[in-house]
Structure 1
Amino acid sequence: MFDQDDLEGIRNRREQWEAETLEPFLERHGERKERFATVSNHEVDRLYTPEDVSDLEYEEDLGFPGEPPYTRGPYPTMYRGRTWTMRQFAGFGTAEETNERFHYLIDQGQTGLSTAFDMPSLMGIDSDHRMSEGEVGKEGVAVDTLRDMEILFEGIDLGEVSTSFTINPSAPVVYAMYIALADQQGVPREEIRGTLQNDMLKEFIAQKEWVIPPGPSLDVVTDTIEFAVEETPKFHPISISGYHIREAGSTAAQEAAFTLADGFAYVEDCLERGLEIDEFAPLLSFFFNSHNSIFEEIAKFRAARRVYATVMEDRYDAAAPESRRMKFHTQTAGQSLTAQQPLTNVVRVTIQALAGVLGGTQSLHTNSFDEALALPTEKAVRVALRTQQIIAEESGAADIVDPMGGSFAIESLTNEMEASIMEYLAEIEEMGDGSIRDGVLEGIEQGYFHREIQDASYEYQRRVERGEEVVVGVNRYTIEEDTSPEILEIDETTRDRQLDRLERVKAERDDGAVEAALDALSAAVEAEENVMPSIVDAVKAYATMGEIMQVLEDHHGTYQETISPV
């Protein structure tokens, strides 16, 4: 963007500035520390100039918003048209309690629902399973059958709301329940909107929740994508999630690279299934973390969009703009929240949310200040939602499309992030002998991702312990007084109430219909057919989540993680 004469003049002027202005100042005052780096330990320079982006090609690397490579945003008007979807994670206790929270959030101005499930539901077991004891409704809402889903969305028109479901091994069952509920309400399937997390590769890499092995898990994910193309074209059947990779301790570059690798693995599996790239790619969505280093996070978001657009066109021949346009949800970093002085989390979340907005997110969840201690209270949720609303309505951050574009620092960091992402993708592709999908599966089996994340996490913790990484209220600016707020307590009768409902559903349902539906699902698995139609039928017969998932486990077995030595 600058010719050589301009760059030479800037270089000479910088050398003059360093000798005449900077050095004398440093001799008198110095700087706060010897080395300045991001949370990911990526060193940043004191000053960026056009020299740092001298090889940047505007059209090729930046372009305009709404046009490839989408570095400057996936849509031409961005938040001037409409703001991002504001989603606050909600789910605890029984369906009745979470339904009440849903209505509260809608009344407070939330524009999309986001559902958290308890551990039994996440793992595909029922509330009356022996392993569910002590966990029912504790970290999310308990959902055993379609009856729970009916109560969860009572008074909510599925044709008017977009709903996100944070669930993975048992995601196809929850998806089927939502479809069955839409059928009950008379909402056409092609009109329901929302997002299913359903990212099993990320589970084997970072979050570690699974039922069946990686290969069969990938097949079932592809079943949901194939089904969505035909039945629910406005519903995203997968949210390819870097959030949990980052929460496990990865760097920003690892988060972006491993998430993109997972995304390309799903693309390759769908292509092998026989789907057309421009048929299913528009339904793919992504989910990223936003951490404390604001400029690194903005660069990560911009670089991820650019890499995705480029690879989707060059490697997979995606022609439709919507197939190359990365759309993503962002959640502020739960891992950054502190139990000490929890009100300081309001500030952390605000900075992280602003990074997501300046990076061009399509949807945003802001963590509540008390989440390092418990599920959030209504007060904490309201503050978190108001944080988004203030950014949207008062800060002016939503008024300019890509206000960071052209910043020497941001563009330089974006280029560095892109280079790191591409280096990781090349390494994963090599592990798969030319296939990113096979490279991801091989990396899971070899423990490659586990080691990369573990090393990054260990180094970060070491920096915290040495005081090189400041965590306010933890290793600096500590106080002795108790600053713990009131926290949300889950009623200990929750499990009893959930078990009573489950028992009633089992007593009232048609056992013959349930058995027939589960047999049909087993036959579909055996014949290697798409399992989603059979799961929808089983859900409508009020088969439980545990019964449905047991069929998959009976056919595919369970999975035991093995980590190869370094």
Structure 2
Amino acid sequence: MFDQDDLEAIREGREDWEESEVDPVLDRFGEREDEFTTDTGGHEVKRLYTPNDVADLDYDDDLGFPGEEPYTRGVYSTGYRGRLWTMRQYAGMGTPEETNERFNYLMDEGQTGLSMAFDLPTQMGRDSDHAMSAGEVGKSGVAIDTLADMETVFEGIPLDEVSTSMTINAPASVLLAMYIAVGDQQGVDREELRGTIQNDVLKEYIARNTYIYPPEPSMRIITDIFEFCAEETPKFNTISISGYHIREAGSTAAQELAFTLGDGIEYVKAALDAGLDVDEFAPQLSFFFNGHNNIFEEVAKFRAARRMWATIMEERFDAESEKSKQLKFHTQTAGSMLTAQQVENNVVRVAYQALAAVLGGTQSLHTNGKDEALSLPTEKSVRTALRTQQILAHESGAADTIDPLAGSYYVESLTDEVEADAFEILDEVDERGGMREAIESQWVQRQIQDVAFDRQEEIEEKERIIVGVNEFQVDEEPEMDIEEVAPEEEEKQVRNLEAVKEERDDEAVDAALAALEDAAAGDENVMPYIVDAVKAYATVGEICDVMRDVFGEYQPGSAL
């Protein structure tokens, strides 16, 4: 891409510049004592980058044009000039009624997509009246027990006019079935339903631990969803392969990228082993990444992710469809970077993280509320978080041109570094038998824990500055309007569940659950049977318990 004579002239010019300009300044003033390294791999960040740092860059092979392989510059030819990213604020509030209210509030404020958070019992496949659910109902999101709750959440919200992302994993099949059932009630053609289920159980074993079933049956359920949705709901993304939680657990950017794509490889392999055609299901795969603090490294990570996935899908899986090779992703700003101290600083952190996601070409974005280190966000803080996106879109100019940092000697060099580090990690994963083997042996978890431990030591030693936490502190208590879930709301949810159980047709429920049990014990696709059970108003817990009885529950080993 660069003429060798020009590169040599630049190299010599840099040496002269360092000798004549830099060295005298260093002798007189020195430089900051900070360690100038990337978060990924600890690579040195040079004082200056020139064409010599990207001398091997080939425009066609390494960059290309937006909408064309290798998709480094984006999967759409018009970028944000054609359509802005989806502004999708994560929301789920205690009861279904409150969630419906928050969804309508956000749409009135200009949100362009819905994102649904579920409480811990729902995520674990337990009903609100289960003994293990006590004290957790509605705390981390909305409580969903039956189809009646999902009907309430989407009352007055036409499903043919919105797309909905659902952060649900082990019971994803059940919540998707409920969404489809609400769409059927509304008369929406299933082919018109749009949205995403997270449905990424491998990262649950790595980072979040809201798993139910062992890996093998979990992968079976996921591939059943792939097959069902390819035919029934082709516009619905069947999985959001998530690096977000891997990064929240402490990984580097390269580990986030490698382990996420490694999980993606496992899902593709499982679907192929189940007899599915790669170009039938792969276009419905999506990804979910963390928007962290280092702007340039995050941009490099997003650009490298697209290039890597195109290579993986073509070289490993012989994908032919362009859509199968296109990595599309949602970004959420880093929850682990929010601080309880000086919470106003979180507004600034979130804005920079969101900028990195937009410069990196995200398709969808959630910006955290400033108070999420303390509680669910208040209406005021979630509005500020949404306004952050709207200002980025309409005032900053960041969305006016495609891949605006392309050609930066630093960003291109960093993109290559992140990609090389991530591929090196993937090579080791392959040597260990793939991601499932690496997860079950706890190797992946140990890699992340080691990094997290080192990062914490750096913070405690002030080698890594967290503003307001280990430097620039103030001695004052934060004044915050905290969003809380009252105990009465849990009681109300349990009463509503009891009412549904009293009014439903128990024979229809028993028949639907028995049919599901037979399907799960055999080799039929379980999704049609889950939809039937949901429509009979079987509960999340009842449906999950049937599959617990057939598949068993996962018991993790020690990550020591």
Give the TM-score of the pair, scaled to structure 1: 0.98
User: Is 1:513 matched up with 2:508?
Assistant: yes
Matched, 1:9 2:9: yes
Structure 1 stretch displaced more, 293-302 or 311-320: 311-320
Q: Residue by residue, what CA displacement relative to the aligned partner does 1:285-332 show, whole Å, maximum 9, x if unpaired?
A: 000001000000000000010000011111111111111010000000
Please, which of 539, 552, 557 is the counterpart of residue 544 of structure 1? 539
Aligned residue in 2 for 1:207: 208
1:45 match: secondary structure = coil
1:97 aligns with 2:92: no
Aligned equivalents of 1:155, 1:333: Cα separation in 2? 32
Q: Distance in 1 between matches of 2:475 and 2:178?
A: 49
Equivalent AA in structure 2 for residue 28 of structure 1: R
1:258-269 paired onto structure 2 within 5 Å? 258-269=259-270
Partner of 2:414: 413
Q: How far, CA to CA, are the matches of 1:275 and 1:177 in structure 2? A: 25
1:42 shift after superposition: 4.1
Is the counterpart of residue 534 in structure 1 residue 529 in structure 2?
yes
Q: Is the 8 A contact 1:342 1:484 kept in 2?
A: no
User: Cα deviation per residue 1:99-142 (whole Å; 9 max; x = unaligned)?
Assistant: 00000000000000000000000000000000000000111000
Q: Conserved in 2, the CA contact under 8 Å of 1:339 and 1:484?
A: no
2:36 corresponds to 1:31:
no
Q: CA deviation at 1:232?
A: 0.2
8 Å Cα contact 1:99-1:153 kept in structure 2:
yes
Q: In the alignment, is residue 196 of structure 1 matched against residue 197 of structure 2?
A: yes
Contact map agreement 2:88 2:115 (CA 8 A) in 1: yes
CA distance in 2, matches of 1:460, 1:518: 48
Distance in 1, Cα, partners of 2:195 & 2:440: 32
Provide the residue aligned with 1:495 in structure 2. Answer: 490
| Residue identity opposite 1:31 in structure 2 | E
Aligned partners of 1:35 and 1:212: how far apart in 2? 44
In 2: Cα distance, 1:76 partner to 1:192 partner: 25
- 2:277 maps to what in 1? 276
Counterpart residue type for residue 555 of structure 2 = Q
Structure 1 position 555 matched with structure 2 position 556: no
Q: Equivalent residues in 2 for 1:360-379 (5 A)?
A: 360-379=361-380
**Structure 2 Cα separation of the partners of residues 42 and 369 of structure 1:** 31
Aligned to 2:176: 175
The unaligned stretches of length 5 or more in structure 1 are 433-438
Equivalent position of 2:464 in the other structure: 469
Matched with 1:155 is: 156
Contact in 1 for aligned 2:36/2:46 (Cα 8 Å): yes
Shift of 1:563: 2.8
Q: Is the 8 A contact 2:291 2:353 kept in 1?
A: yes
Larger mean Cα displacement after TM superposition, 144-153 or 39-48:
39-48
1:312 maps to what in 2? 313
Name the residue aligned to 2:481.
Answer: 486
Aligned to 1:50: 51
Structure 1 distance, partners of 2:479, 2:273, is 53
Residue type matched to 2:449 in 1?
Answer: Q
Distance (Å, rounded) in 2 between the aligned partners of 1:238 and 1:97: 27
CA shift at 1:485, angstroms? Answer: 1.4
Match of 1:435 in 2: none
Q: Distance in 2 between matches of 1:384 and 1:29?
A: 41
- Taking the aligned partners of 1:374 and 1:484, their CA distance within structure 2 comes to 13
The C-alpha deviation readout for 1:332-371, integer Å capped at 9, x for no partner, is 0000000000010000000000000000000000000000
Partner of 1:356: 357
- 8 Å CA contact retained: 1:278, 1:323: yes
Unaligned ranges ≥5, structure 2 = none
Change (3 A) 1:42 1:342: farther
Partners of 1:341 and 1:484 within 8 A in 2: no
| Mapped partners of 1:62, 1:539: distance in 2 | 47
Quote the offset at 1:25 in angstroms.
0.8
Greater mean alpha carbon deviation, residues 207-216 or residues 146-155: 207-216
* Aligned mates of 1:71, 1:189 — CA distance in 2: 33
Distance (Å, rounded) in 2 between the aligned partners of 1:483 and 1:208 = 31
Distance across 2 between alignment mates of 1:311 and 1:496: 50
Look up the equivalent residue of 2:488 and give its one-letter code: T
Q: Which portions of structure 1, spanning 4 or more consecutive aligned residues, are displaced by more than 6 angstroms?
A: none
1:37-75 deviations in Å (ceiling 9; x for gaps)? 234444311111111101111100000001000001111
In the alignment, the residues of structure 2 paired with residue 38 and residue 140 of structure 1 have an alpha-carbon distance, to the nearest angstrom, of 35
> In the alignment, what sits opposite 1:297?
298
1 CA distance for matches of 2:111 and 2:93?
Answer: 18
Superposition deviation, residue 426 in structure 1 = 1.1
Measure the CA separation in 2 of the matches of 1:268 and 1:276: 11
Partner-residue secondary structure (3-state), 1:406:
coil
Q: CA deviation at 1:558?
A: 1.1
| 1:199-255 alpha-carbon deviations (Å, 9 max, x no partner) | 001101111111111111111111111111010000001000000000000000000
Return the offset for 1:483: 2.2
Displacement of 1:440 in angstroms is 1.1
Tell me if structure 1 keeps the 8 A contact 2:91–2:116. Answer: yes
Counterparts of 1:356 and 1:44, CA distance in 2: 21
Distance 2:441 2:498 in 1: 43
AA in 2 matched with 1:501: N
SS of equivalent residue, structure 1 residue 493: helix
Find the counterpart in structure 1 of residue 428 from structure 2: 427
Please give the residue correspondences for 1:214-233 in structure 2 after superposition, counting only pairs within 5 Å: 214-233=215-234
Letter in 2 for 1:117: F
Cα deviations by residue, 1:11-52 (Å, 9 ceiling, x for unpaired)? 000000110001111111111125212344443111111111
Q: Which residue number in structure 2 is paired with residue 436 of structure 1?
A: none
Q: Which moved more, 1:104-113 or 1:474-483?
A: 474-483
Q: 2:93·2:102 contact (CA, 8 Å) conserved in 1?
A: no
3-state SS in 1 of match to 2:373: coil
Aligned-pair CA distance for 1:529: 1.4
Q: How does 1:105-124 map to 2 (within 5 A)?
A: 105-124=106-125
How far 1:277 sits from its partner (Å)? 1.0
Question: In 2 relative to 1, CA 519–39 (structure 1 residues): closer, same or farther, beyond 3 Å?
Answer: same
Is contact 2:446-2:559 (8 Å) kept? no
CA distance in 2, matches of 1:262, 1:39: 22
Relative to structure 1, is the Cα distance of residues 460 and 320 closer, same or farther in structure 2, using a 3 angstrom cutoff?
same
Distance across 2 between alignment mates of 1:419 and 1:283: 27
Give the secondary structure class of the aligned counterpart of 1:64: coil
Of 449, 460, 475 in structure 1, the residue corresponding to residue 455 of structure 2 is 460
Change (3 A) 1:463 1:564: closer
1:471-502 Cα offsets, whole Å, 9 max, x none, are 00000000001123111121220111001110
| Structure-1 separation of matches of 2:348 and 2:379 | 18
Separation in structure 2 between the aligned mates of residue 39 and residue 421 of structure 1, nearest angstrom? 13
CA contact (8 A) 2:291 2:331 kept: yes
Structure 1 residue 559 displacement after superposition? 1.3
Q: What is the distance in 1 between the residues matched to 2:222 and 2:207?
A: 17
Partners of 1:123 and 1:169 within 8 A in 2: yes
The SS at the match of 1:364 is strand
Q: Using the aligned pairs only, state the percent identity.
A: 63
SS of the residue corresponding to residue 148 of structure 2 reads helix
Letter in 2 for 1:548: I
